[in-house]
Structure 1
Amino acid sequence: MRKRHVVLDDIDRRILAALQADGRTTIQALAERVGLTTSPCLRRVRLLEEAGVIRGYVAVVDQAAVDLPVSVFISIKLERQREEELDRFAATVSRWPEVMECYLMTGQRDYLMRVVCADLPAYERFLKEKLTRLDGVASIESSFALEQVKHTHVLPLR
C-alpha cells in the first residue's frame, strides 16, 4: 500500500527529529525544543500521526539482552513470481515473529529478510519447521551477521 506524499516544513522536520531521538518526550518539552507553544505542537504531532508520517511509538529492545543475539539475513527465490504467490509468501512470513524485516527485491532473489533467533539450533528449527515448508520456495540462502556495525531507526530528514 502506497502512502500519500506529505509536504513537511522545517518545524515538522524538527518535531520528527526530536521524536526519533526520544519518543517519550513530553509535548511541553517537544514544543520548547522546536520553538512552538504546546497547543500548536500537539496539533502538528497529531496531524503527522493522522497522515501516517508517524506510524507509532515503540521501545527499542536490545536483542542480545533478551537472548536473541543471532541475526540471519535470508535470500529467497520463489519458483514463480506471480502476484498470488508473492502475496501468499508475504502474508505467511508477516505472521512469523522471528522475521524482523522482509523486502520484495529486484535482482537474483525475490525476497530478503532478517530473522532473529537465540542460537543455531533455533534457526535450524525456524528453517525446517517454517521456511522450507512454504510452497513455491525454490531456494534459500542464509548469511549470519557476525557484528552489527550500525543500526538506527532515525531517518535522515532534510
Structure 2
Amino acid sequence: MPKNTLDAIDRKIIDCLQSDGRMSNQELSERVGLSPSPCLRRVRQLEADGTITHYVALVDPDKVGLAVTAFVRVRLDQQDDRHLEDFETAVASFPEVMECYLMTGEADYQLRILVASLTQFEDFLRHRLTRVKGVANVTTSFALRPVIYKTSVPTLEPHI
C-alpha cells in the first residue's frame, strides 16, 4: 500500500475544498497560509495524483422529489468473477442506485437506492433489480431519516 504523503497543508486544502469546492484560489490560499501560486500548484498536484477526483454540487434529495431511501442487500446465486461483473454492470446503469458495495457476510452487495415513492421502489425492485441475471435474494430496509450524512472524507493525520 502506498505511503500517505499528504502534509498538513495538503490536508487543509482538502478540508477547505470539501466544504466549498467553488472557493476561489485566492480565498483558499489565505485559509491554508500559502500564496496563490504555490496553493494552486498543490491543488493541481492533488488533482493529478487522484487524491481529488472531481468536483460536484450536492443536491438535497427531498428538494428534487426523492423522499425514499432504501438500503438493499442482494445475494447472487453464484459469486464467480463473471457473475459479479454482470451484476455490477447492470446496477451501474440504474440511476436510482446511489451506492453499491461488494460485501462480506450474508449479502454479496449492499445498495443505497433513492426514489420518489414506495410505488416507484416496488417498480424498480420488481421490474429491474430482481430481473438482473443471477439475483437470488433481495432484502430491503427503509431509512426513516438520516442521523449522520457526510460527504467529506476525514483528513486526520494517520496514526502509525
Is the pair's TM-score, using the shorter chain for normalization, greater than 0.5?
A: yes
Shift of 1:156: 1.5
User: RMSD of the TM alignment (CA)?
Assistant: 1.2
* Secondary structure of residue in 1 paired with 2:64: coil
* Structure 2: tracts of 5 or more residues without a match: none
Task: Give the corresponding residue for 1:110.
Answer: 108
Structure 1 CA distance for aligned equivalents of residues 48 and 66 of structure 2: 34
1:79 alignment counterpart = 77
d(CA) in 1 for partners of 2:127 and 2:11? 44
CA contact (8 A) 1:74 1:143 kept: yes
Name 1:35's counterpart in structure 2: 33
Partner residue, 1:153: 151
Q: 1:143 aligns with which of 141, 144, 149?
A: 141
Detail structure 1 runs of 4+ shifted over 2 Å in the superposition.
3-6
Matches within 5 A, 1:1-158: 6-158=4-156
The count of residues paired between Structure 1 and Structure 2 equals 156
- Give the structure-1-normalised TM-score: 0.96
Shift of 1:5: 5.5
Conserved 8 A contact 1:6-1:51: no
TM-score, scaled to structure 2: 0.94
